[in-house]
Amino acid sequence: MRKVLLILAIISLWSSCATYYQSNISFNQEFEKGDLDKALTTLRSHPTEASGKRQFLFDVNNGLLLSLMGRYEESNEYFEKAFLYGEDYHINYLNEVGSYLTNPNFTAYKGEDHEHLMLLYFKALNYLKLNKPDEALVECRRLNIRLQQLTDRYDSDNKYRKDALINTLMGLIYDSDKDYNNAFIAYRNAIEIYDEDFKKLFNVGPPEQLKYDLLRTAKLSGMDSEFESYKIQFGMPDYQYTPGEGADLIFFWHNGLSPVKAEWSINFAVARRDNYLIFSNSNLGLTFPFNIGGYDEKEKKGLSSLEFFRVAFPKYIERPVYFSSSTVTIDGVERPLELLEDVNKVAFKCLSERMTLELSKALIRVALKKASEYQLKKDDKALGSLLGMVNAITEKADTRNWQTLPHSIYYSRISLKEGANALTFSTIDGQGKSQKHDFTYQVTKGQTLFHTFSSLESNYPTHGYY
């Protein structure tokens, strides 16, 4: 027994300090530098992750990398695997038990709510770049189902249960397919979500472009009363729809990188009240009752012996954006890109909504560890102390998340003339310095093009911080 615990302690000590980001430091640094070929090679140098507990992350990272490299068909194969993984995910109860004896990393990572939406967002964009609008519309329907599942799961207005970006994307896809009625519905839903949810939760309001698209599709759908009503609501009483003579470009800017999960710890004091243990942290104002009525007397004594202990939890660390804004210039006319979604804030919100569950699971985990340690110490003090060391070392938060997502997503609709069009995209940093990127688009009348530009630069904190 002593040898087994010693081996466990050594293994745990070797692996317990690194977060998910740190354990994949080579891949992360190559990706952040924009060295996508090297990053892909590094990612695939661990083939066991393709079917292990990090399978979801392996698939979405492959999908996003391949999308950035322009390999859209391959990208969608991986995104489809990730989608099906989420659809078919079942709890492995043996692993769940193991997680209470060690830590949550013993279970398979199933993905955050917003991550499952984002993989379909990228999958739809890939199809649009492949000029496959019908397939993109299939992803729209999947997105609708996922959004409905979110709405059904959360009935509170203060929870992330609707997504304006996804509804805007659906509108853009229907719009490009000349399905103006469904485009109008999607745009209207997006406006409502910005006004009713995103302003309150993320301080993000509807882009001006979205308002113009809603008015245009209302007019094209023959909804004259809605057209006039929204003109007044948006403060645009003089707006008149004028049919375009050329084509449209939908330009998406994926700015920066999403937050990474790190670990933080809370010390809890423990008090016994009848069949309850009360875990509390007065500094944070946290109190959690834990019912021990279902445990036998030995376990109750072990649990009641607790006075205080440390519990590890996941937390997000923001990677602040390097570029603060961007513009597109065509035919001498410059316009800013508008914020569609702050993915960073959405990620923080998703985790905060789960913190009560995370806290309760972590408290149960540590309480059970401490109870077993107490019982073993009564029989063999040295073994009990060794188990205590193993328990302390294995007390670790789950720091896995999809870390190649953008920090924020911006967009603009740009009118193009038939034929060749030269456009300059400029990113502006915090000091007002700009980087310019030139593009040329060849279009036909009535066409809608979709283009994405990804800025992988981010500010501190540095790698070592998380």
The pLDDT of residue 73: 98
Give the separation between CA 428 and CA 431, rounded to whole angstroms: 8
Q: Specify if 290 maps to a domain.
A: yes
Domain of 365? Answer: 263-313+358-394
Are residues 133 and 182 in contact, defined by beta-carbon separation less than 8 angstroms? no
Q: Which residue has the tokens 């087994």?
A: 4
Q: Give the amino acid at 287.
A: T
Q: Specify if 62 maps to a domain.
A: no
> Which residue pairs from 29-33 have beta carbons closer than 8 angstroms and sit at least 24 positions apart in sequence?
29/463, 31/65, 31/404, 31/456, 32/257, 32/456, 32/457, 32/458, 33/456
Q: For the sheet with 247-255, list strands across it.
A: 338-341, 408-416, 247-255, 448-455
Q: Specify if 433 maps to a domain.
A: no
Task: For residue range 16-68, list pLDDT tens digits in order.
Answer: 567 889 889 999 999 999 999 999 999 999 888 888 888 999 999 999 999 99
Provide the sign of the torsion angle of the four alpha carbons 225, 231, 232, 237, taken in this order.
negative
Are residues 183 and 448 in contact, defined by beta-carbon separation less than 8 angstroms? no
3-state secondary structure of 220: helix
Q: Specify if 372 maps to a domain.
A: yes
Q: Give the amino acid at 211.
A: K
Q: Specify if 380 maps to a domain.
A: yes
For 374, the enclosing helix (H) or strand (E) is helix 355-379
The pLDDT of residue 463: 44
Query: Would you write out the chain's pLDDT as a tens digit for each of its 466 residues?
Result: 545 444 444 444 444 567 889 889 999 999 999 999 999 999 999 888 888 888 999 999 999 999 999 999 999 999 999 999 988 854 544 544 444 455 566 678 889 989 999 999 999 999 999 999 999 989 988 988 888 887 777 666 677 888 999 999 999 999 999 999 999 999 999 999 999 999 999 999 999 999 999 999 999 999 999 999 999 999 999 999 988 889 999 999 999 999 999 988 777 787 878 778 787 888 778 787 777 776 677 666 666 666 666 777 888 999 999 999 999 999 999 999 999 999 999 999 988 887 777 776 766 666 666 666 656 556 655 555 444 555 555 557 888 999 999 999 999 999 999 999 999 999 999 999 999 999 999 999 999 999 999 999 998 665 444 5
The pLDDT of residue 253: 99
Give yes or no for a cis peptide into 314 (omega within 30° of 0): no
For 77, the enclosing helix (H) or strand (E) is helix 72-88
Q: Specify if 16 maps to a domain.
A: no
What is the domain count for the chain?
1
E-strand ranges in 295-337 read 308-317, 323-330, 333-336
3-state secondary structure of 24: coil
Name the token pair of 175.
């719009």
Provide the sign of the torsion angle of the four alpha carbons 59, 64, 65, 66, taken in this order.
positive
Q: Specify if 284 maps to a domain.
A: yes
